[in-house]
Amino acid sequence: SAGSFQGQVTVTVLGTGFEQGMACLFGELAVSAQVASSTSAVCTSPTHEPGSAAFRLTVNGVEESPAGPEFLFHTHISVTRAEPSTGLSRGGGLVAVHGVNFPPDVGLACHFSALIRPVPAVYVSPILVHCVAPAYTV
């Protein structure tokens, strides 16, 4: 998982034996978990310096789960332009998205419209990703 170094990213955790009073640990920073069921909890990422942090759960502040996947705190991503800016309604065209701070190992996606599902983006560099435009009906 990944999110902004400014925090406020909702992280859903699935497992077993979850109970009230649990916390999520992002590195050494603990945040309260909202336990939805014995198999599901939700945490909101804290503000953290950019970089990776081990993600774990704790029940009592002492006992911790084994480290799970790393959580990547990235700097603010900003899009400066997309080329081409128009395309065919049938989709399929390659769109070059230019910007800054694109992270290499995160599931980036392109959003073309609130009415169309996001499509996966292919990382090219910290300043460029590619997306294939989806079909669109007017």
| Residue 115 pLDDT | 82
Residue 51, amino acid: G
Q: What confidence tier does 62 reach under pLDDT thresholds 50, 70, 90?
A: low
Of 2.60.40.10, 3.50.50.60, 1.20.1280.50, 2.160.10.10, which CATH number belongs to 2-74? 2.60.40.10
Tokens describing residue 136: 């669109």
pLDDT of 36 strictly over 80: yes
Beta-carbon-side half-sphere exposure of residue 9 (alpha carbons within 13 Å): 19
| Residue 81 pLDDT | 95
Condensed to tens digits (0 to 9), the pLDDT of residues 85-98 reads 888 889 999 999 99
Condensed to tens digits (0 to 9), the pLDDT of residues 101-123 reads 888 867 789 998 878 889 999 99
Averaged pLDDT for residues 28-39: 92
Tokens describing residue 66: 């084994």
Q: What's the sign of the alpha-carbon dihedral 62, 67, 69, 73?
A: positive
| Residue 131 pLDDT | 96
d(CA 86, CA 66): 48
Residue 12 near residue 40, CB atoms below 8 Å: yes
Whether this prediction's pTM lies above 0.85 is answered by no
pLDDT of 60 strictly over 80: no
What single-letter DSSP state applies at residue 64? B
Residue 111 near residue 77, CB atoms below 8 Å: no
Is 29 strand, coil or helix? strand
Domain boundaries, the chain: 2-74, 78-132
